């Protein structure tokens, strides 16, 4: 059974840092692109960052570039999101998701339960 | 970035109704369009990918169509468990942007 379990969320002051982790199990982690998606309270979904299977490529939404870093440890089946210089608008539930490929198309097929990040003074 | 616009933002309907949601892309995305269902307090779930391909196990009352910039998700014979928020996402180009969601409420 595929499982994605996030941890590391919490309350942090503006300008602070947090490191989110995602423990993956039930599939060959190193074979998949992985993504962080966030959802601000009462808002829609926002793609934040993704990382290639071997970690050789990462992409970020403009609003988090140079502040967030996505990384992975395939030996430990883990995905990370280092978040620095946090702002009020980064407050959201952060989901670790698997980016699957089938029939020539990509989609998110598994989601973690999410971890809440609250940026507030 | 490709902007995804969903309409309406919310919709009220009754059990047994047929409803249609729209998702529009700011540029052509061929059929690189996914639909997700999200219930309160839960993570989203994939319903449809490639605009019209139902994920295995998704009831046949759900259907998707469209190509290019305009897409629709239709639910026929609404069931109580279908009341949720529906999100579209383009997978044509990074960043793989989402729409803002359409909330389907019970009338």
- Confidence grade of residue B19 (pLDDT, cut at 50, 70, 90): very high
Per residue, the 3-state secondary structure of A19-68, as one string, reads EEEEEEECCCHHHCEEEEEEECCCCCEEEEEEECCCCCCEEECHHHCCCE
- Confidence grade of residue A49 (pLDDT, cut at 50, 70, 90): very high
CB proximity list for B63: less than 8 A, separation 6 or greater:
B48, B52, B54, B73, B74, B75, B76
Q: Which residues of A touch B53 (CB under 8 A)?
A: 103, 105
Maximum Cα–Cα distance across chain B: 38
Nearest CA among B9, B39, B3 for reference residue B22: B9
DSSP B77: S
Tell me, what's the pLDDT at A21? 98
User: pLDDT of A53-106, one tens digit each?
Assistant: 999 999 999 999 999 999 999 999 999 999 999 999 999 999 999 999 988 899
- Contact criterion met (CB < 8 Å) for A45 and B91: no
Nearest to A112 among B43, B55, B89 (CB): B43
- Contact criterion met (CB < 8 Å) for A45 and B87: yes
Query: Minimal Cα distance from A61: which residue of B?
Result: B95
Looking at every residue in chain B, the average pLDDT score rounds to 96
Nearest to A108 among B31, B46, B53 (CB): B46
Residue B92 · residue B31 · CB < 8 Å: no
Nearest to B32 among A37, A105, A108 (CB): A105
- Contact criterion met (CB < 8 Å) for B49 and A47: no
User: pLDDT of B88-107, one tens digit each?
Assistant: 999 999 899 999 999 999 98
Q: Which residues of A touch B100 (CB under 8 A)?
A: 43-44
User: pLDDT of B77-89, one tens digit each?
Assistant: 999 999 999 999 9
User: pLDDT of A23-35, one tens digit each?
Assistant: 999 999 999 999 9
- Contact criterion met (CB < 8 Å) for A45 and B98: yes
DSSP A77: T
CB proximity list for A56: less than 8 A, separation 6 or greater:
none
Rounded to the nearest angstrom, the minimum Cα separation between A119 and chain B is 20
DSSP B98: B
Nearest CA among A34, A50, A40 for reference residue A93: A40
Residue B36 · residue B52 · CB < 8 Å: no
Best of A40, A45, A102 to mutate (most B CBs within 10 Å, chain B): A45
Residue A47 tokens read as 């793609």
Nearest to A114 among B43, B94, B100 (CB): B43
Q: How many CB atoms lie within 10 A of CB A26?
A: 11
């Amino acid at each position: 059974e595929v499982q994605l379990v996030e941890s590391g969320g919490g309350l942090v002051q503006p300008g602070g840092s947090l490191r989110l982790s995602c423990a993956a199990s039930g599939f060959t982690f190193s074979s998949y692109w992985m993504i962080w998606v966030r959802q601000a309270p009462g808002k829609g979904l926002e793609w934040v960052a993704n990382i290639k299977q071997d970690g050789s490529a990462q992409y970020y939404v403009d609003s988090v570039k140079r502040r967030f870093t996505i990384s992975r440890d395939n030996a430990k089946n883990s995905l990370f999101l280092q978040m620095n210089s946090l702002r009020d608008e980064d407050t959201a539930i952060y989901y670790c998701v698997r980016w699957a490929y089938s029939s020539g198309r990509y989609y998110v097929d598994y989601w973690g339960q999410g971890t809440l990040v609250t940026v507030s003074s | 970035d490709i902007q995804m616009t969903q309409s309406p933002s919310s919709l009220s309907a009754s059990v047994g109704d047929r409803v249609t949601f729209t998702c529009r892309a700011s540029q052509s995305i061929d059929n690189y369009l996914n639909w997700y269902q999200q219930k309160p307090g839960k993570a989203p779930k994939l319903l449809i990918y490639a605009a019209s391909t139902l994920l295995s196990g998704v009831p046949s009352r759900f259907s998707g169509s469209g190509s290019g910039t305009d897409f629709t998700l239709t639910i026929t014979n609404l069931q109580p468990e279908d009341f949720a928020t529906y999100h579209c996402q383009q997978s044509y180009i990074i960043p793989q942007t989402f729409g803002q969601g359409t909330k389907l409420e019970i009338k």
